[in-house]
Structure 1
Amino acid sequence: MHPLALLPLLSSISALATPRSEVTIDITCQSNDNIKWVPQQTIQDAIDRFCPEATQQGTQDQNSGGIFRVYNGGTVFELSLSMEWASGSNFKPDLELCKVQMGRIMACVDTNNNPLGWRHGGHVQDATGSTPVGYIITPISTRYSHGNCGLHLRQGGEHVLPGYQDSYAVTLKDAKNNELGKSSGAIGEGTTTVKLDNRYYSLLTIEWARDAEKRGYIDTAKFNLGSQSWTPATQCKVGNWDYGQLGNGPWYQDMDCGFQC
C-alpha cells in the first residue's frame, strides 16, 4: 500500500486518540454557616414561577447579563432566582432544562446540624451546551442559626390572698444561643401564645392544665411549635421546686427543653 493511502486512516486514529474537552456541570451549595435560608417548598414554588417566566421572555433583562427575579419580597421567605449567560450569544432559556438545573440547587442540602433540611441556595454552572449558563438561587432574608434549639421555662408562684398566683417566664434560643423570643405572665387553664422574633416562622403555644397533686402546671404543659409538639416527659429536663429559704415562697421550678429549628 502506498504510504499516502494510509493518511486518512492515520488521521482517523489520531482524532480518536485526541482527548475531547469534557463538558461539565459544576454545582456550588451554600453552607449551613450562612443564616439566610428558606424551606424547600419555597424554592419549588419560586422555580415553578421563574422558569416559565424566563422561557417566555426568552432574552436577557434590559441592560443585564441574564434574567433576575425576586419573590416573596419583604418576608422571611424572600429569595432571588436568576440565569446568566454571555450577551450576544444565541442561547434561549429552555423550560425543562431550567427546572432541572434549578432543581439541582434546591437539592443542595447540608444535613450537618440541619435537622429540618432548610435550603441555603447555590449556583449551577452548565457548560454542556455551546453557551455556558449560570443558574443561581439566593435566599435574601436573614434568619437564625438552625439545628438543635432550646426552650427555658420557669414556673413561679407566690401567696396572693386569698390564695396564691402562678406565673411563667419562657425564653427560646437558636442553635448558637441567640434569643428567638420570650414571654412572661400569669398562668391559668388554657393556652398561652408566645410571639417569636420575626426571623422565626411560627408561633409557640403552651397549653396549661393544672396538676392538682403537684400544685403546678409545668409537668402537664404541652408545647406546639410549627409541626412539632412535645411535653415535658418527651424532650425536657424538669428541675425540682425551690420554695425559698423559709419554705413559704415565693417558689419556682425550672425546665429546659430541646427542639429542632
Structure 2
Amino acid sequence: MRLLAAFLIAWLSPLSLAAGSFVGDVIILGELHDNPGHHTRQAEITAEVKPTAIVFEMLTEAQAARHVPGADAAVLSEAFDWENAGWPDFTMYYPIFAAAPDARIFGAGVPRQEARQVREKGISFVFGIGAGAYGLNDPLPEAEQTAREADQMAAHCDALPKEMLPFMVDFQRLRDARLAQKTVRALELTGGPVVVITGNGHARRDRGMPVYLERVKPDIAVFVLGQGEEGSRLPPGVFDRIMTSPTVERGDPCAAFR
C-alpha cells in the first residue's frame, strides 16, 4: 500500500516532470484555461518535447497565420487580437510559444461565424470535406448523447434551455474533430512531434479529440495529459496521465447565470 501511495503522489505531483516521459507523434496537453500552473507545465513539457508544430484550440486558422516567430508577448497578443478572443490573459500562454520558438503554429479554433451555423446546417456541413471520415455524419449512441447533454447542462449551471443541449453537444463534437483535423495537418506538414494545447474536455481519450484523431490516423502514437487541481478538482474522463497544480480561486462560477 505504501508503494501504491508513493506512486500516486508522484503521478499527481504538481510540477515534477520525468525526462522523456512525454513521448509520441502527438502529445495532447489538457488544461483548465484559467489555471496558470497548467500553462507553466505545458511550457515545460513543450520545451522537453521540442515539437515541430503546436496546435492551439485558442487560435483560429486566420489568427495562427498572423504568428510572428520569436516575437515578444505584446507583439503576439496584438497580432492574434487575443484581448478580444475571450481567453485568459495571454501572459499565461506566451511561455508555451517561447518554449518552442521554431515550431510551426496551427489554429484549430472554430470561428464564431461557423459556430453559428451548427444549429441551422449541422456539424457535417460546417466541418466540410472529410466529415464522414471523422464520424460526424453519424449520431452518437443514445446513452452517450444523454450523458453529454447532462454534462453540458451541469457545466452551464443548469441554466440552458433543454432544446439547446443537442446543439451544444454537436458544437463540442465539431471542435474535437477540427482539433484532430488540424493536428493531422500539422503532422503531415512538419513530421512531428506535434503538441496540442487544449482544454481537458477536448483532450480526454474517451470522447474528446483523441477519438477523432485515432479514427483517421490509427497508427500514430498519441499521449494525453489531463490537468487538475490539488485536493479538489480532477478532470473527468480518461487520460494517459493526470497531474495537478494549486487551485485557482474563482468565486461563484454560476453567478453569471443568475
**TM-score of the aligned structures, taking structure 2 as reference length:** 0.23
Q: Quick check: which one's helix share is greater?
A: 2
Q: Which has the larger radius of gyration?
A: 1
Choose between structure 1 and 2 for higher RCO, CA contacts under 8 A separated by at least 6 residues.
Answer: 2
**TM-score of the aligned structures, taking structure 1 as reference length:** 0.23
Q: Quick check: which one's strand share is greater?
A: 1
